[in-house]
Structures are given as C-alpha cells and as structure tokens.
Amino acid sequence: MHKDVKEILYTQEEITQKCKELGKTIMNDYHDKDLVMVGLLKGSVPFLAELSKFVNLDVTFDYMDVSSYEGVESRTITIKKDLDQDVNGKHILLVEDILDTGKTLSTVRAMLIERGAASVEIVTMLDKKEGREFPIEAKYSGYEIPNAFVVGFGLDFNEKYRNLPYVGILKEECYQ
Ligand code: IMP
C-alpha cells in the first residue's frame, strides 16, 4: 500500500468484479442502440478502460476535458477539450470516476442534451451522495462512499496517485 494511503476501500479485484456487473446491465440496456461512451478526462480513464472490457457491444468512445473553477460568486465550467463527434441523435453514456457536488456532470449533461443527444446517462465508479449540491444522479453507480478524500484508480490529489490500482482514503496530513 502507498505510504500516503490510510485505508484501501476497494481493491483492483473488487473494482473488476463491479465493472463486470455494471457492464452486464449496460449491455442489456443498450443492446439495440448506438452507444457512445464519453470519458471525462483525466480521472475516468482507468475506470472506462476496465468497464468497457465488459460492454460487449459495438460502442464508440469519445473524451471531454472540463475544469470547474470556484469564482467569487459562482462556479464556472471551462471546456479544455471538447468531443470530436456530433452527438445529435446519439445515446451518450458519461463515464466519471466520482460524482460529488454534481456540478461537472449536470453542466456537461445539459450541454449534450442541448446539442440534440438522444439520451445522456451517467455511470460513475464512486458516488459521494452526501456532497451533492446539484440535482443529478447516476443511472449506474459502482460504490456509494462517505465524504472522505479518496485517490487511486484514476482519482488524484494534485495529479498524483492516479496510477494506484485500488481506491483508498488519502491521509489527512497529505492535504492539510
Ligand atoms: P463534482 O462536479 O463536484 O461532482 O466534481 C467531481 C470531480 O471532483 C471529480 O471528477 C474529481 O475530479 C473531483 N473529486 C471529488 N471528490 C474527490 C475525491 O475524493 N478525490 C479525488 N477527486 C475528487
């Protein structure tokens, strides 16, 4: 275990098992639709890679990179990398590492609906329901977690720890 990690919440084996279950449900729901899996950079990459192994359909992939800034009066979203394709009429599954306040996903979802997507759903590896400030829920969710700061399997603190093959709670002294 990494020296900065206090406790492992989910091992690689558990995450793989969870991806198998989620993949099966997603396959059932989308077997007759053209599905585009959209990864939110950078955190979703390991989860998207693992999950998509178990979605045995002719899916296509795209990526978006958005940042959320805390301003004086409100938080704003900036698109750093937009999708490569036109989503008009397509079924979009947004893939995220963690759903917290919901600001990022509610903004991105509204944007894709506005562009004419046939449907926009969310799959998240982790869900911090206690942190929610915007009315948005994931249709598919791996694990509901308490309000702790977690790293690994794509999740970072100052860009570190994304490569850990498990999800763990970061020691408080590393970010205080
Ligand atoms: P939201 O817009 O508040 O839902 O933001 C979700 C984003 O916040 C995620 O994609 C992460 O980048 C970040 N985030 C929230 N909680 C954590 C955490 O515990 N560890 C690492 N990143 C987190």
The H or E element that residue 56 is part of is none
Q: What is the mean pLDDT of residues 69-76?
A: 60
d(CA 173, CA 8): 17
The fraction of the chain above a pLDDT of 70, given in percent, is 96
pLDDT of residue 8: 98
d(CA 59, CA 42): 20
d(CA 35, CA 26): 10
Q: What is the mean pLDDT of residues 86-115?
A: 95
> Would you say residue 134 has pLDDT above 80?
yes
Whichever domain contains 109, its CATH number is 3.40.50.2020
Q: Which atom of ligand 1 sits closest to the CA of residue 145?
A: 19
Q: What is the mean pLDDT of residues 45-62?
A: 97
The whole model's pTM is what?
0.95
In a domain, 46, yes or no: yes
CA neighbor of 82 nearest in space, from 35, 124, 40, 42? 40
Per the structure, the complete domain to which residue 28 belongs is given by 12-145
In a domain, 2, yes or no: no
Please give the tally of structural domains in the chain: 1
d(CA 16, CA 161): 19
pLDDT of residue 88: 96
Ligand 1: distance of its center to the CA of 101 in Å?
8
In a domain, 114, yes or no: yes
In a domain, 80, yes or no: yes
In a domain, 110, yes or no: yes
Ligand 1: distance of its center to the CA of 99 in Å?
6
